Amino acid sequence: MTSPDNSWRSSLLSYLTSEGSPGRESILQLLSSPGHPQDHAALHLDACQPWSRGGAGHFTGFLEILFLAPERILREADEVAAEACGKVHREVRGDPRYSPKEWVHVRISLLPNVPIFRRPTLPRSEDVGLLVEIRGTVVKTALPRTLEKAKTMRCSRCGTEFLASADYAQFYRLSRPSSCPGSSGCPGTYFSVVSRAGEKNNLELCADFQEIKVQEQVSKVNVPQTRMKLRVVLIVCSSLEIA
Ligand SMILES: [Zn+2]
C-alpha cells in the first residue's frame, strides 16, 4: 500500500502513463528518440502544460512535493520515470518507432510564473536547496568530459569496501576518508581502488559533464555593468542539450 508521503509516486506514474496525458506524450517522445537503452535520457516535463491542457490532476501532487524537497524528489522521480518508460514501452511493443530507455532523468521546465520560482536574476546563496528557473545567456562553455562520480575502494588492512565520491568543491578529486569506514574500529589508513568507474557494471559511477558560464540577461537588470555570471555544471549526457 502506498504511504501518504509516497502517494506522489503513483500520481506521477499515472500522469506519465495515462492515455491522453501530456506526460505520456513526453514518454512516447523519449521512447522514439535515438540512442541505446542504457544511455542517459532526459524526460522533459513542462510544469505549466498540464494546467493549460486540462490534465493537472495527477501532476499536482508531484509538483507540490517537488517544490518542498526538490533534490530528493527529482532523484526519486527518475525511478518513477524509468518505470513509466517500461510500462508504456510494453504497451507499444512491436512498434519500430519506439525503443526502451532505462536510465531516465526527469527535467522540469517552465515553472509557474511567480517570483519564487522564476527569477529575473541569477540565484544567490539563500536559494540553495530551492527549485528555481533562471534565464540567461551562455557566455562560455568548456569541453564536455567524463566525470568519475565515485570509485569503489578497499581498506588494505581489514578489506572493507566503500564508495569514495568525487568532491565538486575540490575540482572532482576523490574524497578519501581519513580513517577506515569499517564498523570494527579498524585503524587502517591506506585504501586502494577496487574497480575503476567506466568498467562494465560500473557505468552508474560515471557521468558526462560540462561546465558553462551563464550571464544574466541585459533586459532583466537595471544597470548592465552589474550583470552577474554564474558557473554552471551540467551533469549527464542529456543535460548537454544546450543552445
Ligand atoms: Zn579497515
Q: Domain check: are 15 and 99 in the same one?
A: yes
- CA 31 to ligand 1 centroid distance, Å: 45
Per residue in 163-176, pLDDT (tens digit) is: 888 776 677 777 78
| Per-residue pLDDT, 238 | 39
Local structure of residue 152 (DSSP, 8 states): E
User: Between helices 70-91 and 22-31, what is the axis angle to 10°?
Assistant: 70
| Per-residue pLDDT, 29 | 93
- Rounded to an integer, what distance in angstroms lies between the CA atom of residue 215 and that of residue 65? 30
Q: Which of 30, 50, 34 is nearest to 42 (CA)?
A: 30
| Per-residue pLDDT, 1 | 44
- CA 178 to ligand 1 centroid distance, Å: 11
- CA 2 to ligand 1 centroid distance, Å: 40
- CA 173 to ligand 1 centroid distance, Å: 21
- CA 166 to ligand 1 centroid distance, Å: 20
How buried is 207 (Cβ within 10 angstroms: 0-12 exposed, 13-18 middle, 19+ buried)?
A: buried
In-domain check, residue 156: yes
- CA 242 to ligand 1 centroid distance, Å: 44
Q: Domain check: are 236 and 142 in the same one?
A: yes
Section 217-227 average pLDDT: 63
Highest mean pLDDT: which range of 4-13, 163-172, 195-204 = 4-13
Domain boundary among 46, 81, 110: 110
How many domains are contained in the chain? 3
Please give the helix or strand (H or E) that residue 26 lies within, else none: helix 22-31
3 has a pLDDT exceeding 70? no
Confidence grade of residue 196 (pLDDT, cut at 50, 70, 90): low
- CA 163 to ligand 1 centroid distance, Å: 13
Amino acid found at 32: S
- CA 181 to ligand 1 centroid distance, Å: 7
- Rounded to an integer, what distance in angstroms lies between the CA atom of residue 6 and that of residue 62? 10
Per residue in 20-78, pLDDT (tens digit) is: 888 899 999 999 988 778 777 889 888 876 555 555 566 777 888 888 888 888 889 99
- CA 155 to ligand 1 centroid distance, Å: 5
232 has a pLDDT exceeding 80? yes
Higher-confidence residue of 72 and 195: namely 72
Q: How large is the C-alpha radius of gyration of the chain?
A: 21
Q: Domain check: are 134 and 105 in the same one?
A: no
- CA 189 to ligand 1 centroid distance, Å: 7
Q: Domain check: are 93 and 196 in the same one?
A: no
Q: Domain check: are 133 and 241 in the same one?
A: yes
- CA 177 to ligand 1 centroid distance, Å: 11
Q: Domain check: are 162 and 188 in the same one?
A: yes
- Rounded to an integer, what distance in angstroms lies between the CA atom of residue 41 and that of residue 101? 7
